[in-house]
Amino acid sequence: MDNIIGEPKKAFMTGNETVAWACLAAGADIMFGYPITPQNEVMHYWTRLAPKYNRGFLQTEDELSAGFTTCGAVQAGKKAFTATAGPGNVLMQEPFGMAEAMRLPLLAVIQQRGGPSSGTVVYSQQEVTLTTYGGNGEGHRIVYSTATHQEIYDYVIKGFNTAWKYRFPTFILGDGYQAKMREPLEMYDPKDKGIEMTPAYPLIGVPGQIGKDREPQHLCNIYSLEEELYDVVMKVAAEYEAIAPGLVEYESKYCEGAEIIIVSHGVVSRAADDAVKILRNQGIKAGYFRPITLRPFPQQQLRQCIAQSNAKQLLIAESAYGQLERLIKQEIYGETIKIDNLFMPGVGIIDFDIINKVKSII
């Protein structure tokens, strides 16, 4: 692979630019995209970089097409990705469903904007349900919720590898703040961090002569019988569940002896981290838990965190009206800990919001 970055180096840039550089460094072959705020600059930077490194780009007629062209390119054996947000994410659930069904390792970057509908072009965490369980399927996909530009860079590279290693569609769930703000990060070529990139390989147009070396590849995505589909879905579910324990990622801090654990994800976890430190300075024993993978969800780890801390309360803070909360409740069913929430749909959350909420409920 090309030496893209050279020596690991510090950079100061927007999250969208970070996505483009990370895709380049990860060896992405082609991007398909359609304009929607706040992900546009992913395309802007990619279209500037791609020709210099012999990578491809197509601006399609809509997000349906961007998703399906990505599926086609992946079937043909190329590392393909797309980026979208909001109503574009809604449209892309159709091709993402195909990727789930046919096990197509596409990578999609979702920069969440306000919803429902056209909502705002600014920011939210309201695409959690859609990104984890959208489409007419079972949510057999991998979703990383990033919080910093360094994580965007790291998880884009990791995401391509997870996708191609396990053949599940993989998502980098960011948001408008992460997309648009600038912050420092370190860029690197994967090999300089000892990361080996999983090679791509085709499902169609494969080597060997048909009728002599091999049978033709007839990829199937629709079934005649209930039982045929059942077998396929159960096999996918079993494979997904088998790899899930190795895929889950989370962060947990100050949980031991905590009275209250604040659970958040993505950029809100940065406010939660600050809030916990301030609360601790003020003598309030607050703990911090952050799922990095929303699919699969680190449910065992959250249960352990609750058990070990003896905390009496969980505070779920999110820039949505309970999307993370629903995910958590289904994952930790049976726990008796009291659950409170700080729902600020489509609005940013700062440490102050969380501190105030904690003080009002303990």
Partner 1 sequence: MAMLAPATPKSWYLPSKPHKFCPGCGHGITLKALGEAIDELGIQQNTIFGCDIGCSLLAWNFFACDSTQTHHGRTTPVMVGIKRARPELISIGYMGDGGGYSIGSQHLLNSAVRNEKVTLILVNNTNYGMTGGQMAPTTLPGQITETSPYGRDVEATGYPTRGPEFIAELTPEGAYVARATVSKYKQLRRFIRNAIRNQMEGNGFSFVEVLSTCPTNWRTNAQQTWNFLEEKMEEYFPVGEIKNPLGKGDK
54 is written with which tokens?
A: 């012999």
Smallest distance, partner 1 to C-beta of residue 62, A: 6
142 binds partner 1 (CB under 8 A): no
Smallest distance, partner 1 to C-beta of residue 222, A: 6
Rg (CA), the chain: 21
Q: Burial level of 120, CB count in 10 A (0-12/13-18/19+)?
A: middle
CB contact set of 152 (below 8 Å; sequence gap of 6+): 15, 18, 19, 22, 146, 172, 174, 178, 185
87 is written with which tokens?
A: 């109503």
32 binds partner 1 (CB under 8 A): yes
**How far, CA to CA in Å, does 90 sit from each of 169, 250, 293, 361?**
16, 27, 20, 36
Smallest distance, partner 1 to C-beta of residue 246, A: 29
| Range 79-108, binding partner 1 (CB under 8 A) | 80, 94-95, 97-98
Which residue among 195, 197, 206, 232 contacts partner 1 (CB under 8 A)?
A: 206
Do 131 and 120 meet the contact criterion of CB atoms below 8 Å apart? no
195 binds partner 1 (CB under 8 A): no
Query: Would you say 118 or 221 has its CB closer to partner 1?
Result: 221
222 binds partner 1 (CB under 8 A): yes
Do 153 and 187 meet the contact criterion of CB atoms below 8 Å apart? yes
**Span near partner 1 by CB under 8 A; candidates 12-20, 43-51, 199-207, 347-355:** 199-207
282's enclosing H/E stretch is none
Instruction: Output 223-232 pairs: Cβ under 8 A, ≥24 positions apart.
Output: 232/101
Nearest to 114 by CA among 123, 105, 127: 123
69's enclosing H/E stretch is helix 63-75
47 binds partner 1 (CB under 8 A): no
229 binds partner 1 (CB under 8 A): no
Smallest distance, partner 1 to C-beta of residue 63, A: 10
How many residues touch partner 1 under the rule CB under 8 A: the total is 42
211 binds partner 1 (CB under 8 A): yes
1 binds partner 1 (CB under 8 A): no
61 binds partner 1 (CB under 8 A): yes
**Span near partner 1 by CB under 8 A; candidates 9-17, 213-221, 228-236, 261-269:** 213-221
Which residue among 10, 194, 216, 246 contacts partner 1 (CB under 8 A)?
A: 216
Smallest distance, partner 1 to C-beta of residue 235, A: 18
Nearest to 318 by CA among 292, 345, 286, 339: 345
Which residue among 54, 117, 209, 360 contacts partner 1 (CB under 8 A)?
A: 209
65 binds partner 1 (CB under 8 A): yes
54: left (phi over 0), alpha (psi -120 to 50) or beta: left
Per CB under 8 A, residues contacting partner 1 are: 29-30, 32, 56, 58, 60-62, 64-65, 67-78, 80, 94-95, 97-98, 202-206, 209-211, 216-222
